[in-house]
Amino acid sequence: MRKEINIILTPKQSSSEKNILSFLSKKFQIPEDKISYLKILSRSVDARSRNVKINLKVLFIYNEEKPSIEKDNFIYQDVKGKEKIIIVGSGPSGLFAAD
């Protein structure tokens, strides 16, 4: 079964995949060896208070075989000879794109 959930952990709990796996195992009462796949989809830090929290969006699969996950292969197009563009701004994105 696949589950995609948002969880809030301490920095120590989120420091390794093993700790996250242990947390999920306890929360959903699933033995750790039944969780066949774990992927962190997003991670953010909430440091608005004295107690820092880590927000994770996690996809995990349990009671199934480990899936064959394909990597996303992005194919960059050749832009030689194409119309030139103008990049406005000197922030990080503009400087990167101007290179």
Model pLDDT for residues 18-36, shown as the tens digit of each residue? 999 999 999 999 999 899 9
Strand order in the sheet with 2-9: 2-9, 53-62, 35-46
Nearest-5° Cα angle at 34, 73 to 31: 135
Query: Which pLDDT band, with edges at 50, 70 and 90, does 98 fall under?
Result: low
Q: Is 50 helix (H, G, I), strand (E, B) or coil?
A: coil
- More confident: 97 or 25: 25
State which fold the 2-62 domain adopts. Answer: Alpha-Beta Plaits (3.30.70)
| DSSP 8-class letter at 79 | -
Q: How far is 38 from 31, CA to CA, in rounded Å?
A: 14
Q: Which two tokens stand for residue 11?
A: 């920095």
Model pLDDT for residues 38-88, shown as the tens digit of each residue? 999 999 999 999 999 999 999 999 988 877 766 667 788 888 888 887 777
